[in-house]
Structure 1
Amino acid sequence: MKKVSGLQIGHSSIKDKDFKIECDVINDKNVEVPFSHRHYFYAIYWIHEGNGMHIIDFEEYEMRPDRVFFIKPEQVHFMQIEGSLKYSALQFTEDFMIPINSKVEKEIPVYIDIDKNEKSRIEILFNQIQKESVSRLPNSTVIIRSEINTLLLDLERMAMPISNFSILPDLLCKYREMIDKNFIKERQVQFYATQLGVCPNYMNVLTRKFLGKSALELINERTVLEIKRMLLRSDFTISEIAYRLGFNELSYFSRFFRLKTGMTPQKFRDSMNKMYQ
């Protein structure tokens, strides 16, 4: 199976742009490559016609009309298309959005099913972004950034009734953000609690109340996810992956992964390669 550690805008191995939009494409390999891969950018996929499964970070989600998927950088994903799939795709980097000081990581879930009214709003935004992308008019890039930000805010608002992310305390959101940035070097709740000015017990109270998990489980889950990503989409050996993720002993690395997943790293790699080849 083809191994790709990460792809840039347009699914190229070389970064040559920070933004791209394609509307109403059908099974276009220049928009979505036919194998599992990791992005270095954000992507919004709006399904119009067709079916299949969208595998995102090893979880399967049904693809169906008027379902909108939100993919973040570093996530591994793959579209298993059944026959023909018609969709629109918007891709952009975090750097592209920096000039408007917009936080891309809004509380948007993996997917949202949109109704008739929501579809009309998204359709307008996609069309405006697409027209600006080819207009070559003054300030078109500034307008595109603004419209993407409006789309993200709209998706966040659409998700609020069905998602509990919008009610998470700020402290818990910061905890998850810190884990994402530091989990390779820091895997103790004490470190994060100290940085946030609270005690580990209070952090546990928050995570159990709002997420149903211990504070340590969140760290371990992020670690396991990164191990899975590297096992699937890199040519590193098991030992190299363990070293890169801060494990000093290969035996401990293997025990940790087996305890969390029920299989050895090599067995997981073999099964995923067979599934996604």
Structure 2
Amino acid sequence: MKQPNKEIRVLATVTDYTRFFGLPAPAHPLLTLIDLSLCRHLPRVLTPVVQQLYTVSLKRDLKGLMHYGHQSYDFSEGLLVFVGPGQVFAVSESLDTSNVSGWMLVFHPDLLLKYPLGKKIASYGFFSYELHESLHLSAKEESVLDSLLLSMKGEYEQPIDAFSQDVLISQLEVLLNYANRFYHRQFLTRRTAEHDLLSRFETLLAAYFTQDEGPSLPTVQFFADALHVSPAYLSDMLRTLTGQNTQQHIHQRLIEKAKQLLLTTNLSINETAFRLGFEYPQYFTRLFKSKTGVTPAAFRVSAN
């Protein structure tokens, strides 16, 4: 299969986005709503794209591959996909859009600047998920989102007035809150896959701390890469199933290993810190006290 052109096009504005893909000009400078059925006969654009925008899209009956990072994905089934600023994607020459349907919401980060949602949006981990971690909707959930988009469409098509942006932001926040709820449902209902991921994470975490020769401190990115998921997805899955995110799991296992070393070896506090992978012992002492309420030295004395 011929790979997409290596040149990457940067789309910085909503107008850039609609113009590049041959879509109708946006009615609002910072937001547009696209009926994907109108895209069925548009020419395919094979140039890889990096967008400085947010997109939320529900694609149905899109046949063929989309390239995302170093992988390819098949969107023949309806999936809700979230893409945040700075992410790269492209399509294959074989992509068939002749029967595509659904919708796409495209908005610029500046839309949110003066609203609390501008800060809150960072808490929605799904904007940094990989596409294979897309949201699989039930028919009822899909209907809820379709109704919300229909309401947004009605507001979007009205002439802009002093309240337009306030209303659109309110509607967008409702949409994202529903998506958050549906993702939480997905983590719970796809229990076999998610519990398998949890089991593999726990195995990796345990293996990491069985090393004797001073490993470096493990990172969330390390475990996400090893499990082939994004850091945000891993943390959200763990938080849903265990109540703790990835970093909290790492710290918990780190403190357990620290206690073992403090009680079973004659290593000094500094040597213990270095054995655990800390570059600066004071960081180890600070973390240990924050998690246990006592310093490593005080723990060793009290335990003995």
The answer to whether the superposition gives a TM-score over 0.5 is yes
Shift of 1:42: 0.6
- The answer to whether the Cα contact below 8 Å between 2:32 and 2:106 also exists between their aligned partners in 1 is yes
- The answer to whether the Cα contact below 8 Å between 1:44 and 1:89 also exists between their aligned partners in 2 is yes
Cα-to-partner distance string for 1:188-222 (whole Å, 9 max, x where unaligned): 9869x96xx647xx9xxxxxxxxxxxxxxxxxxxx
Where structure 1 has 5 or more consecutive residues not aligned to the other structure, the ranges are 176-187, 203-277
- The answer to whether the Cα contact below 8 Å between 1:48 and 1:66 also exists between their aligned partners in 2 is yes
Shift of 1:167: 4.0
- Which residue is equivalent to 2:177? 153
Cα RMSD after superposing both structures: 3.5
- Which residue is equivalent to 1:172? 247
- From the superposition, tell whether residues 83 and 98 of structure 1 become closer, same or farther in structure 2 (CA, over 3 Å): closer
- From the superposition, tell whether residues 135 and 63 of structure 1 become closer, same or farther in structure 2 (CA, over 3 Å): same
Cα-to-partner distance string for 1:230-266 (whole Å, 9 max, x where unaligned): xxxxxxxxxxxxxxxxxxxxxxxxxxxxxxxxxxxxx
Cα-to-partner distance string for 1:141-161 (whole Å, 9 max, x where unaligned): 211111111111111111113
| Residues 6-85 of structure 1 mapped to structure 2, 5 A cutoff | 6-8=10-12, 9-10=14-15, 11=17, 17-24=29-36, 25-27=38-40, 33-80=45-92, 81-84=95-98, 85=100
Among 99, 110, 114, which residue is 2:114 paired with? 99
CA distance in 1, matches of 2:278, 2:114: 34
- From the superposition, tell whether residues 171 and 83 of structure 1 become closer, same or farther in structure 2 (CA, over 3 Å): closer
Please state if 1:117 is matched with 2:140: yes
- From the superposition, tell whether residues 49 and 97 of structure 1 become closer, same or farther in structure 2 (CA, over 3 Å): same
Cα-to-partner distance string for 1:88-123 (whole Å, 9 max, x where unaligned): 111112221233211223022441111111011110
Where relative contact order (Cα < 8 A, 6+ residues apart) is larger, the structure is 1
TM-score in terms of structure 1 length: 0.55
CA distance in 2, matches of 1:79, 1:87: 18
- The answer to whether the Cα contact below 8 Å between 1:46 and 1:89 also exists between their aligned partners in 2 is yes
- Which residue is equivalent to 2:24? none
Structure 1 residue ranges, 4+ long, deviating more than 4 angstroms after superposition: 188-191
Shift of 1:66: 2.4
Where structure 2 has 5 or more consecutive residues not aligned to the other structure, the ranges are 21-27, 188-233, 251-276, 292-304
- From the superposition, tell whether residues 171 and 65 of structure 1 become closer, same or farther in structure 2 (CA, over 3 Å): closer
- The answer to whether the Cα contact below 8 Å between 1:26 and 1:87 also exists between their aligned partners in 2 is no
Task: In structure 1, give the amino acid aligned to 2:8.
Answer: V
Cα-to-partner distance string for 1:43-97 (whole Å, 9 max, x where unaligned): 0121133322232222322213421111111000123322523331111122212
- The answer to whether the Cα contact below 8 Å between 2:238 and 2:246 also exists between their aligned partners in 1 is no
TM-score in terms of structure 2 length: 0.51
- The answer to whether the Cα contact below 8 Å between 2:9 and 2:47 also exists between their aligned partners in 1 is no
CA distance in 1, matches of 2:125, 2:79: 17
Indicate the structure (1 or 2) with the bigger Cα radius of gyration. 2
Please state if 1:130 is matched with 2:117: no
- The answer to whether the Cα contact below 8 Å between 1:94 and 1:104 also exists between their aligned partners in 2 is no
Aligned-pair identity in percent equals 13
More strand by share: 1
Among 4, 8, 22, which residue is 1:4 paired with? 8
Q: In structure 1, the residue corresponding to 2:8 is in which secondary structure?
A: coil
Q: In structure 1, the residue corresponding to 2:185 is in which secondary structure?
A: helix
CA distance in 1, matches of 2:142, 2:109: 25
Shift of 1:17: 2.9
Task: In structure 1, give the amino acid aligned to 2:179.
Answer: L
Please state if 1:140 is matched with 2:153: no
